[in-house]
Amino acid sequence: MATIPTLEMIRHINGNRFNLEYKEEVYSTLSRDNGGPLHTKLWECNKTNDRHTLRIDQNIFEQILKKRGPRGRKGKSVGRPAFGIRHLIRRELMLIFHMDVEKIVEILNSNPEYKSGKKKDTTLVMPNLSIAIKELVEEILSKDNNLQHHPVFRRMWAPCACRLLELAWINKPKHESMK
């Protein structure tokens, strides 16, 4: 059976393994070069996660696909780093959960009637984010209750996650979104 992570489970990053808050299974970890949080294999595990279809704006889908990290092998690791669209979408979703709530509120307030364009379907293995999205929406509404009827929150968790991903991508600084 698939576990449904909470917002706290996704945001938790282990520090020292002797720390009291150390957990065996975490959804996020820090990159070695201090490039920010990364998603762990728990996002990709076929045994504990189901397939979900996300419908993302086609233009943003193509822009995300253009964003590719370092190529080739690193150190003693086997194989190449993951770089496919599914991996990149998981990363962008994980970054939304680590984004400051004030920043998300600011983005939503600057786009009060956001409507995405033509959508592209992508099926990927990932955790069910329904509880985490619900908790994130509650945090957002606690900061600004006027966002209660925002178009992003009108549907279930997957469309909400897609619209938040699109808005976060549109409002990223250009130098950051096209690395």
What angle in degrees, to the nearest 10, is found between the helix axes of 157-170 and 58-66?
60
The confidence score (pLDDT) of residue 101 equals 94
Give the count of alpha carbons within 13 A of 52, CB side only: 25
Provide the token pair at 67: 């964003």
For the CA atoms of the chain, what is the radius of gyration? Answer: 16
How many whole angstroms separate alpha carbon 102 and alpha carbon 33?
26
**Tokens 């086997």 — which residue?**
78
The confidence score (pLDDT) of residue 161 equals 94
pLDDT tens for the chain, residues 1 to 179: 567 888 888 888 776 555 556 666 788 887 777 777 878 888 888 888 889 999 999 999 888 888 765 555 556 556 566 668 888 899 899 999 999 999 999 999 999 888 888 999 999 999 999 999 999 999 999 999 999 999 999 889 999 999 999 999 998 876 454 44
pTM of the model: 0.82
Contacts of 19 (CB under 8 A, 6+ apart): none
Contacts of 117 (CB under 8 A, 6+ apart): 57, 58, 59
Query: Which one-letter amino acid corresponds to residue 112?
Result: P
